[in-house]
């Protein structure tokens, strides 16, 4: 079988998904080389694929398209393999087969979902991503990580249950399970949208992200940041492009996390809120649905995976070396970790959409599409969100970790493999920002957009400079929220605190009511037994011995009454 024929018979992702199961068989440098080879082989296979459906099977009366390739799935496939490769490099120093197997099976499942041509195959991979990724949280082996992992698993599996429900209803309605454009034409597709929305961290459905990601291991968070939410963005792009309600969901997502990120002390949790903010730009682009908006969404997902991984890697290196990631306990680390600080600044510049960095050339497509298609209010909110992300990720993350007051902490620089992974991600962030043409060429639609025009550059620089000025003024006059040990209340309070409290009170009320009912029933039963004993007990009237004569008399009376009744009858 030729290489091309083999590539067309194996769904992408299986190389990592199945190959990861063999990782425990290897040790040392052989294990490291093997893990690095898996995403490389997977990417080479991907480069051999042509557009079209290459692998279909019939089962239970359903046609499952296991390998459907188009430009949308290819772009996400490329970045998923790159992210897996960089994440593996970052994790090479970890001697924990559980994390390695979990990370690569998770990456493989997410990649396989990109090439599912039907909803049933998508569902299988959808649930696999949940089951495989949760071990990246459990692997931290702390009580809080275990609890967060269980909540994460329940919510992610719940998303899969909703997806399966929607698939069944959609098949009943249409007789089809094809994974193409779905829209909001029926209750079934609405349920599927909610399932996708949970993984995409829609407002009110988002807190699994801020709950679980900061509790994962140092390397696990890097894997988590790349796949779950971007798989949801891919699914929304394929199934719901042009669904206008997504515009308003998206702009809400860009705005509200800013306020939480500004007051949050845990810097990995700040990045989790920032991740939510960046997803909002992508969801907005999907809702607009034009060629430019979809190109912007895909390009921003590509860029975001890289710069968000870079930021999580830099904060993970700090946590690895210092043992804390609280902004109130850090500062001055640029003296001990200069390379990590430099890479963090590259990530911060990228997420802030500075010219010559990757976020600029992708976010500009979405904001321009909003302006050109008459979404004026949405455009204003996106500008506000762009300024806000510079505050909480562009400035706050590097400032409080590396340049704020000197915490006095001194440590070694990050391990070499972490620095190599950060260096690769930083090179992509700068390379894409300086020369975006290769990325633009692989997007789903032809790109007719020049990001580096005087208008675009000056507008963005003005926005960033005024945002920086606002930060400086707020810091100078003590108005900016200080980094304090605190717990910020979010929607998860409803199911982490209010829900359990209400359940406990309901259970206590039921228990009290049952106890009262039991006591009342016992009292009534006792009265009944006492009454029966009183009449039929050894001393009761019904138990006394009657004289023979009285008995004969009553028999005669009853017989006479019977004869009279029979005569008249």
Tell the residue number behind the tokens 């006059």, with chain if given.
477
Q: How far apart are the C-alpha atoms of 82 and 94, rounded to whole Å?
A: 20
Q: How confident is the model at residue 548 (pLDDT cuts 50, 70, 90)?
A: low
Token output for 541: 């009237």
Q: How far apart are the C-alpha atoms of 49 and 18, rounded to whole Å?
A: 20
With 90 as the cut, is the pLDDT of residue 461 above it?
A: no
Q: How many CB atoms lie within 10 A of CB 498?
A: 11
pLDDT tens figures, 5-36: 666 678 888 999 999 999 999 998 999 999 99
Q: How confident is the model at residue 1 (pLDDT cuts 50, 70, 90)?
A: low
Q: What's the pLDDT at 539?
A: 64
Q: What's the pLDDT at 30?
A: 94
More confident residue, 538 or 234: 234
Q: How far apart are the C-alpha atoms of 89 and 83, rounded to whole Å?
A: 10
Token output for 538: 């050894």
Q: What's the pLDDT at 431?
A: 96
Share of the chain above pLDDT 70, in %: 91
Q: What's the pLDDT at 5?
A: 62
Q: How confident is the model at residue 385 (pLDDT cuts 50, 70, 90)?
A: confident
| Among 497, 491, 488, 490, CA closest to 147 | 497
Question: Which residues lie closer than 8 Å to 239 by C-beta, 6 or more apart?
Answer: 179, 180, 181, 182, 183, 189, 192, 193, 196
With 60 as the cut, is the pLDDT of residue 201 above it?
A: yes
Q: What's the pLDDT at 448?
A: 87
Which element (helix H / strand E) includes 52? strand 52-59
When mean pLDDT is compared across 55-69, 219-233, 292-306, 484-498, the lowest value belongs to 484-498
More confident residue, 320 or 387: 320
Under 8 Å between Cβ of 39 and 141:
no
With 90 as the cut, is the pLDDT of residue 125 above it?
A: yes
Q: What's the pLDDT at 532?
A: 66
Q: How confident is the model at residue 4 (pLDDT cuts 50, 70, 90)?
A: low
Q: What's the pLDDT at 104?
A: 96
Q: What's the pLDDT at 559?
A: 79
Across the chain, mean pLDDT equals: 88
Q: How far apart are the C-alpha atoms of 77 and 66, rounded to whole Å?
A: 15
∠ CA 285-275-162 to the nearest 5 degrees? Answer: 75
Q: What's the pLDDT at 490?
A: 67
The helix-helix angle for 338-351 and 358-372 (nearest 10°) equals 10
Instruction: Provide the residue ranges of all domains of the chain, joining segments of one domain with +.
Output: 55-63+131-488
Average pLDDT of span 459-466: 84
More confident residue, 406 or 117: 117
| Among 303, 247, 307, CA closest to 280 | 247
Question: Which residues lie closer than 8 Å to 505 by C-beta, 6 or more apart?
Answer: none
pLDDT tens figures, 351-364: 998 999 999 999 99
DSSP state of 20: G
The gap between the terminal CA atoms of the chain, to the nearest Å, is: 104
């Amino acid at each position: 079988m030729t290489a091309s024929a083999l590539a067309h018979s194996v769904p992408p992702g299986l190389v990592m998904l199945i190959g990861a199961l063999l990782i425990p068989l290897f040790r040392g440098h052989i294990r490291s080389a093997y893990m690095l080879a898996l995403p490389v082989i997977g990417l080479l296979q991907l480069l051999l694929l042509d557009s079209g459906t290459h692998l279909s099977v019939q089962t239970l009366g359903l046609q499952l398209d296991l390998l459907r390739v188009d430009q949308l799935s290819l772009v996400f496939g490329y970045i998923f393999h790159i992210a897996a490769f960089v994440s593996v490099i970052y994790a090479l120093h970890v001697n924990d087969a559980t994390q390695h197997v979990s990370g690569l099976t998770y990456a493989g499942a997410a990649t396989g979902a990109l090439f599912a041509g039907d909803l049933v195959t998508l569902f299988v991979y959808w649930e696999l991503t949940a089951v495989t990724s949760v071990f990246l949280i459990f692997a931290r082996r702390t009580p809080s990580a275990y609890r967060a992992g269980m909540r994460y698993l329940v919510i992610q599996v719940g998303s899969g249950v909703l997806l399966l429900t929607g698939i069944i209803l959609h098949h009943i309605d249409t007789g089809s399970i094809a994974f193409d454009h779905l829209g909001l034409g029926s209750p079934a597709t609405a349920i599927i949208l909610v399932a996708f929305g949970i993984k995409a961290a829609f407002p009110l459905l988002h807190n699994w992200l801020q709950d679980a990601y900061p509790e994962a291991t140092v390397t696990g968070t890097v894997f988590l940041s790349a796949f779950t939410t971007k798989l949801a963005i891919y699914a929304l792009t394929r199934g719901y492009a042009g669904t206008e309600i997504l515009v308003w969901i998206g702009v809400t997502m860009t705005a509200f996390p800013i306020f939480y990120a500004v007051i949050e002390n845990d810097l990995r949790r700040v990045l989790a809120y920032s991740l939510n903010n960046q997803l909002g730009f992508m969801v907005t682009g999907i809702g607009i649905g034009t060629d430019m908006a979809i190109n912007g969404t895909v390009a921003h997902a590509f860029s975001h995976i890289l710069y968000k991984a870079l930021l999580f890697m830099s904060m993970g290196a700090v946590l690895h070396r210092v043992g804390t990631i609280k902004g109130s306990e850090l500062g001055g680390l640029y003296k001990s970790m200069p390379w990590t600080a430099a890479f963090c600044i590259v990530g911060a510049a990228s997420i802030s959409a500075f010219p010559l960095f990757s976020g600029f050339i992708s976010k500009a497509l979405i904001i321009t599409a909003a302006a050109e298609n008459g979404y004026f209010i949405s455009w204003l909110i996106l500008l506000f969100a762009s300024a806000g992300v510079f505050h909480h990720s562009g400035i706050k993350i590097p400032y409080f970790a590396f340049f704020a007051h000197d915490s006095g902490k001194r440590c070694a620089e990050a391990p070499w493999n972490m620095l190599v992974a950060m260096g690769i991600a930083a090179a992509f962030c700068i390379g894409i920002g300086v020369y975006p043409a290769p990325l633009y060429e692989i997007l789903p639609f032809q790109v007719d957009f020049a990001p580096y025009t005087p208008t675009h550059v000056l507008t963005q620089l003005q926005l960033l400079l005024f945002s920086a000025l606002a930060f400086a003024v707020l810091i100078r006059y003590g108005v900016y929220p200080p980094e304090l040990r605190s717990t910020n209340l979010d929607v998860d309070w409803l199911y982490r605190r209010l829900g359990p409290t209400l359940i406990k009170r309901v259970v206590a009320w039921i228990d009290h009511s049952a106890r009262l009912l039991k006591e009342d029933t016992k009292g009534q039963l006792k009265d009944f037994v006492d009454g029966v004993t009183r009449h039929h007990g050894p001393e009761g009237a019904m138990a006394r011995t009657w004289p023979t004569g009285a008995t004969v008399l009553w028999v005669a009376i009853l017989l006479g009454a019977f004869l009279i009744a029979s005569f008249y009858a």
